[in-house]
Structure formats: C-alpha cells, structure tokens
Amino acid sequence: MNSNRGNIFKRKPDRTIFPEMGDNGKPVVDLDSQKFIKIWQGPNHPGVTGNMSLELTISGDEVMDAKTHVGYLHRGFEKLFERRKYIQCFPTCIRMCVPEPDTNEYNLARGVEELTGIEVPEMANWLRMIVLEMARLQVLLRMVPGQAGTMGLGLGSTWGLYYRELILDRLEELTGGRIYHMYILPGGVRGLLPDGFKERLEDNLVKIEGFIKDIDRLIYSNAVFKKRTKGIGFIPSDWVDNYGITGPVARAAGYKRDVRKDYPYLYYDRLDFDYNIGHESDVFARFLVRRKDLDTTVDLLRQIMAKMPGKGDIKAETPNVLHWKVPKGETVVRCESSRGEYSFYMVSDGSEYPRRINLRGPSYSHAVTLLEKLLINENISDVSAIMISLATCPPEIER
C-alpha cells in the first residue's frame, strides 16, 4: 500500500500524448468530453495581480489552458491624455501603476523636457533619483515578503507592510502625498529635502536591513517555500527576447537587463552597483533576484544621499503650464521600474495637448503573452505563485 501511494505522487504523465496539441501550439480541449472543466481565478483586489482574472481550463488539478482578463480597475488613460494639458496629465499618469507611480511621473516629465529642450538642474536630478529609489524600495518591501502569502505564509506580508510604511512616511514628508506624489514635474522637482530628512531615512534603512535578515529566516531558509517554488514556472532563456521579458524576470533567466546600467539616465552612471542575476529561471530564482534588489536599493539610497550636493536649483524656468505649447516632435523615454523596463512614447503636434502618449510597461508582455503560455501543464495550486513571481501591475495593461 505504501509503495503504491508513493508511485501515485511520483508519477509523471506523458504530456506529448495527452491532451492532443493543435496547430496553434495549444492543447485541444473538448469541454463536452467531461475530461476538462473551466474555472475562474480572480479578480480579487488584495495583491499585486488582484485586479485581473484568469480563465483556466483544467484537467484534474493540471492547467490545460489559460486566458488573462483585465479591465476591472482603470481604463483609457492614454485616450484621456489627448484631452488634457501636459500638466493635467500628471494626476492621470500616476494611476497607471499605483504601487510605483513615480516612474510614470519621471517618464512624462522627461518626455516633455526632451521635446522642449529643457535642461534639468543637477540638484533636481539627484532628488529625482532619491524619490525613484524610495519608490522601488517600498514596492520591494511589500513584494519580497508578500511572495510567500500565496502559499499561506502571511506573516511576512504583515511585517513588510509595516516597514513599507516607514518609507511612505519619508515620501509623505518630502512630497506631501503618501501614495501619489506628483513631485517630479517638467524642469525639475517641487521641493528640497526637509531638515533632518537624510538622518530619518538612514534610521529607516537600518531597521529595514534588520527586517531583511528576518525575511531570510522566515522565507528563504524555509523548506516548504523552497519546495513550492523551485522548478516551478520555468522560463526558457530563448523566451526572454521572444516575449519581451525585462527586469528581474529576465535577470533570473541569466540575462543582464537593467535600464539604469544599459542606458544610464539621471546620474546612475555615477553610482556603484551591478546586475543581480539568477540562472534557474523558476519562481524561486525570480524571488531571489528581487531579494537581492532589496539590498541593492538600500545601498543606492545611501550612495545618493552621500553624493548629492547640499543645495542648488531644483527647477528650470518653464512657461505657464496652463498655456504651454510643446514643440512638434516625438520621443521615447525610459527608466527601470521594480518590474523592468518602463517606457513612454510621446508625440506632440505643437499644441497645448499631447497628440499621443503610449506606455510600454513590462506587465503586458509578462501577464498576458508570457503567463498564458507559462501556466500550461502547471498545477492549479501553483498558479498564484507563478503570477506574483512575474510582478505585474494590471493598470499598465488597462491603459
């Protein structure tokens, strides 16, 4: 009896004969055969991927087909831009990724600056960097410990939310806003660091470093977590370019991909950091790359605070923002978000309104084309872990 039970759990079905594969490379699923059933996972808001749902076709507990469905949150951002003046686009663009809105602020401001030829003061560029890295840090503080929540280990998520709040305190102190900041504007930023800001941020970083050690013990040394993530959701290296994979997902597959190093912007070329690389390209490898990103971000914030000047201009002269006609032209700007390459394609027709602003974030390629293929033949209990390992932000898709 024990021997038979062991064989049941170790059995590996031959996927080459069941189910039959169609000409489109997907399994041929006949719901009338009663061998398959269709279920929905989501939408449920809590979590990074909570505003999207998956239409899953399963056989037993194995996924045969998956389709992504979005549209449960925000829609039509890019069309709204065409009806707003450039300065009015900022309250809209930040909602294209709620957890990390500052990347949208930076790209929109940088696009306007390139089309108008505005030179941003040095002090403003350092301040932009400190905001972008704080934004990255608070995302990672929620995501890195929150990964285990998909497997029932919710303690890390609770801890992470507290330490994330420490960084949100600093963002609120600097910008006046806790989630949405609108601190980065064309020509510069809205204000200098408050007195004692660096000291308070350093105190936060020290506490966060202690928290990272706790997370290592709770999650990355956890045998159950390793068992549930190693070898799951494997992405072959030849998929990286074919599916437009960027950021930590690409780095976990052994690719050196980071816009801050590949196409340096602001003053990232003055900072000392390296690519965080993995090679196993599974769920665990992607989680581990982000764990390393957490260390890197803490270190970068310290480098920025040490290198930035003590004072200086924070904004270039700009026209009246309510009557600003941006010269005719087009440009592409990009930066590295916590999820990967994040770019804007902007077109101006010479009026007070943008002719076209198109977002190209990593979520679309990761959560639609990649995820739908990645889930086939995986166990239904692993779907959530695979989804969150891709770190998607649904509003990027619904733009």
Q: Say whether pLDDT at 26 is over 70.
A: no
Distance CA(259)–CA(263), nearest Å, equals 5
Distance CA(162)–CA(9), nearest Å, equals 40
* Residue 277, CA atoms < 13 Å, CB-side half-sphere: 8
pLDDT confidence of residue 46: 54
pLDDT digit string, tens, across residues 334-349: 999 999 999 999 999 9
Residue that has been written with the tokens 């801890």 in this structure: 159
Given the DSSP bridges, would you call strands 341-348 and 329-336 parallel, antiparallel or unpaired? Answer: antiparallel
What is the residue-averaged pLDDT of the chain?
87
Between these two residues, 3 and 353, which has the higher pLDDT value?
Answer: 353
Long-range contacts of 34-39 (CB under 8 A, 24+ apart): 35/59, 36/64
Residue type, 347: V
Residue that has been written with the tokens 């003046």 in this structure: 85
pLDDT confidence of residue 335: 95
Distance CA(204)–CA(197), nearest Å, equals 11
Which candidate, 304, 254, 247, 250, places its Cα nearest to that of 280? Answer: 254
21-25, 37-41, 338-342 — which is least confidently predicted?
Answer: 21-25
pLDDT confidence of residue 14: 52
Flag whether 275 is in a domain: yes
Q: Say whether pLDDT at 265 is over 60.
A: yes
Flag whether 299 is in a domain: yes
Distance CA(54)–CA(40), nearest Å, equals 6
User: Residue 223 has which token pair?
Assistant: 């045998």
Q: Say whether pLDDT at 16 is over 60.
A: no
Under the banding of pLDDT at 50, 70 and 90, the label for residue 125 is very high
As a whole number of angstroms, the longest Cα–Cα distance in the chain is: 81
Flag whether 123 is in a domain: yes
Flag whether 336 is in a domain: no
Distance CA(298)–CA(206), nearest Å, equals 9
Q: What percentage of the chain has pLDDT greater than the value 90?
A: 53
Residue type, 369: T
Between these two residues, 42 and 199, which has the higher pLDDT value?
Answer: 199
Flag whether 49 is in a domain: no
pLDDT confidence of residue 6: 39
The helix or strand, by DSSP H or E, that contains position 336, with its residue range, turns out to be strand 329-336
Flag whether 343 is in a domain: no
Q: What is the CATH number of the domain that holds 275?
A: 1.10.645.10
Boundaries of domain holding 190: 93-317
Under the banding of pLDDT at 50, 70 and 90, the label for residue 193 is very high
pLDDT confidence of residue 206: 96
pLDDT digit string, tens, across residues 305-317: 999 998 899 999 9
Distance CA(140)–CA(291), nearest Å, equals 8
* Residue 161, CA atoms < 13 Å, CB-side half-sphere: 8
| pTM attached to this predicted model | 0.89
Distance CA(299)–CA(293), nearest Å, equals 10
Mean pLDDT of 155-171: 91
Flag whether 141 is in a domain: yes
Q: What percentage of the chain has pLDDT greater than the value 70?
A: 91
Residue 148 Cα to chain centre, angstroms:
17
Flag whether 362 is in a domain: no
Q: Say whether pLDDT at 1 is over 50.
A: no
- Which runs of consecutive H residues, i.e. helices, occur in the chain? 2-10, 77-81, 90-93, 102-116, 122-146, 155-175, 197-215, 223-229, 239-242, 247-251, 259-262, 283-307, 362-364, 371-374, 383-389, 394-397
197-215 helix and 122-146 helix, angle to the nearest 10 degrees: 30
- State how many domains the chain has: 1
Under the banding of pLDDT at 50, 70 and 90, the label for residue 15 is low
pLDDT confidence of residue 8: 40
User: Residue 367 has which token pair?
Assistant: 């959560």
C-alpha separations of 390 from 76, 98, 132, 237, 370 in Å: 24, 17, 21, 15, 9
- Radius of gyration in angstroms for the set of CA atoms belonging to the chain, rounded to a whole number: 23
